[in-house]
Amino acid sequence: MHPFQYQRADSADQAVAAVAKTPGATFIAGGTSHLDLMKEDVHHPSLLVDVSALPLKQITAFEGGVRIGAGVSNTAAAYHPDLQQRYAAMSEALLAGASVQIRNMASMAGNPLQRTRCPYFRDPAQACNKRTPGSGCAAIGGYNHVHALFGASKACIATHPSDLAVALAALDARVQTTGPRTIAFPELLRLPGDTPHLDTVLEHGELITAIDLPAFAGRSHYLKVRERASYAYALVSCAVALEMDGPKIRRARVALGGVAHKPWRVGPAEALLAGQLPTEQLFQAAANAAFADAKPLEHNAYKIPMGRNLMVRALLETSGLQPMQGPAGTAFAASVGGVAGRLATPR
Amino acid sequence: MTTQATGKPLDRVDGRLKVTGAARFTAEWDVPNLAYGAVASSAIAHGTVRSIDVSAARKAPGVLAVLTHENAPRLQPIPEKIGETQFRGEGGISETLQPLQTAAIEYAGQPLAVVVADTHERARYAATLVRVAYEERPPQLAMATASRKTLPEMFLGNSKEKLQVTIGKPKSALAAAPVKVERVYESAITHHNPIEQLATVARWEKRGGADFLTLYDTTRGIEVLQEVMATSLGLPKESVHIICPFIGGAFGSKGWLYAPPLLTAMAARAVGRPVKIEWRRQDMFAVAGQRAATRQTLALGATRAGKITALQHDTQTHSSLSSGFTEPCARLTRMMYAVPNISFTHQLSHLHLPSPCPMRGPGETVGSWALECAMDELATELNLDPVELRLRNYADKNPETGKPWSSKNLRQCYARGKELIGWDQRNPKPRSMREGTQLIGYGMASTMYPAGRGEAQARATIFADGRALVQSATHELGNGAYTIFRQISADALSLPIERVRFELGDSALPSAPTTGGSVTTATVGPAAQAAARAALAALKNLAVRDAESPLFGAATEAIDAQEGRLVLKTNPAKGEEYGAILRRAKLPSVIAMGGAKPGEEKDKYSFYSFGAVFAQVRVDEASGSIRVARLCAVYDAGRLMNPKTAHSQIIGGMAMGVGATLMEATHYDPRNGRAVVRNLADYHVPSCADTPDMTVEWLNIPDPHISELGARGIGEIGCVGTPAAITNAVFHATGRRLRSLPLTPDKLAFS
């Protein structure tokens, strides 16, 4: 770890001023990702401005939806009864991620800003344009088992690791910043292009103050496939938000995780679903459309059939054509394969 | 009779210390004037250091010294052999490469510099400032294309464990067999990943004008480390003191690779202060050893009646450039079934990867996986129940040596395991069972572990207050050593367990071997017994010579120890407490040494523990996710010293088997040989949510030949057998054979 300065902010304005005037300064909230990267010699901030004590911890009603303060912990948001009921995909995504200890520390604004799990990013001896611009991408031609199917570039094939971000993308969440400005969710995060060191569109010293979930009267759901039943990043994940008009789908929003540098909204598939009666056949067609443009690498082609199957299942479960694997709004609903041990209620 | 402590499910005696943080682990020793070391390691896997620029590191705040190959003291080579174990060369256990002795680079992560500073943080930071220029050469990273391939003759130089063996005529028997199965099985590199990372604290001082080195180290081979350090540093063995009372898990690491303690000792000498080096998790993927990958070809020939007539097992595996360690994959193959024609080979490719070393069930874990999966495939070919196939080939004696087993009750294990899992209630047809969207499957495997025993010494002290202390330089890895040796000592001393302590983890104590190979219970237990009995004998001698003792003038053979008293066998009312004898003699204590080693029984019998593992799995085929629903295992491992600590050890081993089967894999970059995943978020070991219901039973039949205790070691057998049972259950669930570990979701659904 490199030496750094640390200060605790009492207000958002003070925090912004401190970071804005200091090159190499950055905010720190829960620190669950940031500190690891500092210890791994990947992040070298000159100044950490601690925003964890700022009064940004309220969950309030807002324009028919909900406003979640940036500093609300992942745990508090996940178990908030109103959120769990109205935005089940979000609770499911949170609870299927990390561990209890990490969720207790991690903030709602920090979670979507966590950096990639591309292993090459975490090893300073490997080439990585995200870590060291211009050094190259060792994942291309290397071990790229967990890398992107969509939107990758010659500079970077990393994926975004946040579960929460995928659910927020499907729910059309927006972030409020000290800009002041409002940024819609998928646009908050960037594709790598030739500047993969930039994960987001946030300016230096711009602080997220809240996440807004717009009004939503449908059903939402999150599914995740991983190599270990708990505390593992998604190989592929899928968030679905369905609004019905009688028996028909009025609007479907589908975001895929683990397949791109940001949560991947699948517009053509969503268009196929709108106005249709939910059937497995329809969902299959939508999944095929969603993955039609996938560009696999040496080691990640498995994500295409896995992702299609997952998307079909997420749609089946969200629309009620197939039962969920556990109560809505819980990790059990989100965790494909469930946990080891006997089934509690064999079906 | 004293209440017996052995065989009782007593709580772990060091449990409270551990959960309250009072147990002192290596990195926690508070040594005055301590300085801190941090290591800069090689970015490349093959080449040489052209130049190493330490000027920035040297100038960084708090830095005391920087050692590189240019200024580090020269070391003497490690010994050829230590005890019976071959250290160097093909089939040996260790690497000959020593840190900072050469500019040559043999693997990525090889230590190239150690920076010593006044704080841990400053040392770490300064280590990032070391700049190395390399002369890079292409690394060899693939087993198949390695330019140096060898056929090691023996495992660790043991003439009883040859690695290239032919018994009978397997080739022609296979050709003639009416039913054949020939398959290739591949397993990934895995890492031990104990919670406690490697650490050493080294302190030099002058004693009697000569150099004396004290090392606190995370070692589970105190005596071997003492010898390696003494040899390498050119010191008499008595001038090296090793201390390690607690180890936070090892699983095969922390025994046979010595760069960490050597670097720390060199650094401490250079700065003239005690130095501590704690290794990072990332480094554990380079300097702590690993289980090498394997590619195993199994060929089985059988009659239609299910009698196996030929068995061939050819293993390809790999080591580093400077180690000859060879994963001995045929350990089950050579002894498990009554097959007249057996052959096995081991080909070792030397690669620019870190050195492997034993990992829990070395050879057995992945070797048994391949063999027991092939057995399952043969059962399918024969349309025979997998258990029945094993019974038809049950070995009543060791097929390789012809020797009788010391004790084998494996039939009972199969039978009880079947009951526990509900084997006969399953539909044996593959892909026939479902629960909701999930496929259900059952599988089983035979398991075994060699029941070794070595030589050890112990010291017993009986104090005048009626308490006792028994000591031996063995290790507590979380295995329960403190607990069971206290139990064994208490019984041997005829004292209640509360009045007995057991100490270990210090090279000043009587000698005990490395804790490995599941030999510790069978080795140290009898030594503790011998020492305890010698102390009682000394006490008896005092009593019979003491005119004031009720035992005065009695023959020592007529005296028995009961409940902390020496009494006449014929009249137990006549006697007195141990303490009374000592107090009258004005002695604070009586001390005696004892030792124990195997005798001629070692050559008369074949010593193994056995078991049968049964698994039930749930498979979500659309995603490729496999979950283990249940594991039921029945073991024939001799008499248990403590069913509670034994249960913990076994279920820990089985959970590790779950990890090896479903998720654990270390990947090295195919071009530059760097470990790609180097943290425990991305290298997956099983979480609680991956760990199934585990039902473990024991036959608890004493081994009449291993020792008077009848007890065998059980450290590794839980890990063995579990992978094949799960893999075979996945076949039963899905109708598909997966022959590449680990069975991650991509493999099942999309291979």
Q: Strands, E, within A117-218: which ranges?
A: 174-177, 181-184, 208-213
- Angle at which helix B259-271 crosses helix B222-233, to 10 degrees, equals 50
d(CA B420, CA B436) in angstroms, rounded, equals 24
Most A CBs within 10 Å, among B623, B630, B741, to test the A interface: B623
Non-local (6+) Cβ contacts of B619 within 8 A are B438, B439, B440, B441, B625, B626, B627, B730, B733, B734, B748
- B169's tokens: 């005529």
pLDDT tier, B750 (very low <50, low <70, confident <90, very high otherwise)? confident
Residues sharing a CB contact under 8 Å with residue B389, sequence separation 6 or more, in sequence order: B306, B375, B378, B379, B382
pLDDT in tens, B238-247: 999 999 999 9
Q: Which of residues 105-124 of A touch B (CB under 8 A)?
A: 117, 119-120, 122-124
| Identity of the amino acid at B152 | P
Q: What would the pLDDT profile of B61-91 be if each residue is shown by its tens digit?
A: 999 999 999 999 999 999 999 999 999 999 9
Q: Tell if the CB–CB gap between A1 and B622 is shorter than 8 Å.
A: no
The amino acid present at B99, given as its one-letter code, is P
A337 touches B: beta carbon within 8 Å: yes
- How many CB pairs lie under 8 A apart between chains A and B? 144
User: CB of B678 within 8 Å of any CB in chain A?
Assistant: yes
List, for residues B392-438, the tens digit of each pLDDT value.
999 999 999 999 999 999 999 999 999 999 999 999 999 999 998 89
CATH topology of domain B403-452+599-751: Aldehyde Oxidoreductase; domain 4 (3.30.365)
Q: Do B688 and A306 touch (CB under 8 A)?
A: no
Alpha helices (H) in chain A, listed in sequence order = 12-20, 34-39, 74-78, 81-86, 88-95, 100-105, 163-170, 185-188, 267-273, 280-290, 303-319, 331-334
Q: How far does the CA of residue A244 sit from the closest CA of chain B (Å)? A: 26
List where CATH 3.30.43.10 sits in chain A.
Answer: 5-52
Residue of A227, A238, A322 to mutate when probing chain B, most B C-beta within 10 A: A227
Domain boundaries, chain B: 403-452+599-751, 454-597
* CA nearest to A343 within chain B: B629
CA atoms of B485 and B506, how far apart (whole Å): 15
**pLDDT over 90 percentage in chain A:** 97
Q: What does the pLDDT read at residue A344?
A: 53
CA B412 to chain centre: 27
Domain spanning A219-334 has what CATH number? 3.30.390.50
* Best of B128, B683, B688, B690 to mutate (most A CBs within 10 Å, chain A): B690
Burial of A344 (0-12, 13-18, 19+ CB in 10 A): exposed
Whether the predicted pLDDT of A345 surpasses 50: no
CB contact under 8 A, B623 and A347: no
Q: Which residues of A touch B676 (CB under 8 A)?
A: 119-120, 123, 142-143
Question: Which of B669, B672, B741 should be substituted to probe chain A, the one whose Cβ sees the most A Cβ atoms within 10 Å?
Answer: B669
Using a CB-CB distance cutoff of 8 angstroms, which residues of chain A are in contact with residue B620? 336-338
CB-nearest to A227 from B658, B689, B744 is B744
B750 touches chain A (CB under 8 A): yes
Enclosing H/E stretch for B488: helix B481-493
Band (A221; pLDDT cuts 50, 70, 90): very high
CA–CA gap between residue A138 and residue B444 (Å, rounded): 42
Among A46, A131, A302, pick the best mutation site for testing chain B contact (most B Cβ within 10 A): A302
Enumerate the CATH 3.30.390.50 domain ranges in chain A, comma separated: 219-334
Residue A306 to residue B623, Cβ atoms within 8 A: yes
Q: Based on C-alpha coordinates, what's the Rg of chain B?
A: 27
The pair of three-digit structure tokens given for residue B563, joined into one six-digit string: 């409940």
Please name the member of B43, B625, B658 whose beta carbon is closest to the beta carbon of A125: B43
A 201-230: CB under 8 A from B: 225-230
Which H or E run includes B61? none
Residue B112: its chain A contacts at CB < 8 A? none
pLDDT value, residue A343? 65
B648: left (phi > 0), else alpha (psi -120 to 50), else beta? alpha
Which of B436, B674, B689 is the closest to A339 by Cβ?
Answer: B689
Instruction: Please answer whether residues A292 and A150 qualify as being in contact, where contact means their C-beta atoms are separated by less than 8 angstroms.
Output: no
Give the 3-state secondary structure of residue B429. coil
CB burial class (10 A; 0-12, 13-18, 19+) of residue B144?
exposed
> Which pLDDT belongs to residue B3?
72
Residue B40 has pLDDT above 60, yes or no: yes
pLDDT score, position B600: 96
With CB atoms and an 8 Å threshold, state whether B667 touches A143.
Answer: yes
Structure-block tokens of residue B533: 């009995």
Contact map slice: B 416-455 vs A, CB within 8 A: 435-438
pLDDT in tens, B511-535: 999 999 999 999 999 999 999 999 9
Query: Which residues in B lie closer than 8 A to residue A145 (C-beta atoms)?
Result: 667, 746
* pLDDT value of position B436: 85
Q: Residue A347: what pLDDT?
A: 39
Q: Which residues of B touch A225 (CB under 8 A)?
A: 623-625, 745
Candidates A345, A331, A340, A339; CA nearest to A91 is A331
Please judge whether A228 and B124 are an interchain contact, meaning their C-beta atoms are less than 8 angstroms apart: no
Task: Give the DSSP H or E segment for A59.
Answer: strand A59-62
How high is the pLDDT of residue B751? 55
pLDDT of residue B503: 98
pLDDT tens readout for residues B608-628: 999 999 999 999 999 999 999
The predicted model gives B644-653 an average pLDDT of: 97
Kindly report the average pLDDT of chain A as a whole number: 96
Kindly report, residue by residue over B346-356, the tens digit of the pLDDT.
999 999 999 99
Q: Is the CB of residue A284 less than 8 Å away from at least one CB of chain B? A: no
What average pLDDT does chain B have? 97
Beta strand spans in B546-637 (E): 559-562, 565-568, 571-577, 589-596, 608-620, 625-636
Residues A108-136: what's their mean pLDDT? 98
Q: Is B745–A143 a contact, with Cβ atoms under 8 angstroms apart?
A: no
pLDDT of A346 reads 41
Q: Which residue has the higher pLDDT, B750 or B497?
A: B497
In this predicted structure, what is the pLDDT of residue B196?
A: 97
Q: Quick one: pLDDT at residue A124?
A: 96
Kindly report, residue by residue over B574-584, the tens digit of the pLDDT: 999 999 999 99
Residue B248 to chain A, least CA–CA distance (Å):
21
Query: Rounded to an integer, what distance in angstroms lies between the CA atom of residue B234 and that of residue B256?
Result: 19
Architecture of domain A5-52 in this structure: 2-Layer Sandwich (3.30)
pLDDT of residue A342: 78
Nearest to B625 among A39, A119, A337 (CB): A337
Residue A97 near chain B (CB below 8 Å):
no
Taking contacts as CB-CB distances below 8 angstroms, the residues of chain B near A229 are 627, 687, 689-690
How close does chain A come to B681, measured CA to CA in Å? 7
Q: What is d(CA B116, CA B64) in angstroms, rounded to the nearest whole number?
A: 5
Examine domains B403-452+599-751 and B454-597 and report if their fold is the same. Answer: yes
3-state percent breakdown (helix, strand, coil) of chain B, nearest 5: 25, 30, 45
Residue of B nearest to A345 (CA): B435
Q: How far does A201 lie from chain B, in Å, by closest CA?
A: 27
List the strands of the sheet with B559-562, edge to edge.
B559-562, B565-568, B571-577
Residue closest to B631 by CA, chosen among B738, B741, B727, B745: B727
For residue B208, the distance in angstroms to the closest alpha carbon of chain A comes to 42
Nearest neighbour of B684 by CB, restricted to A232, A309, A338: A232
Euclidean distance between CA atoms A7 and A30, whole angstroms: 14
Contact A302 B749 (CB under 8 A): yes
A151 φψ region: left (φ > 0), alpha (ψ -120 to 50), beta (else): left
State mean pLDDT over A87-94: 98
In CATH, B454-597 is 3.40.50.720? no
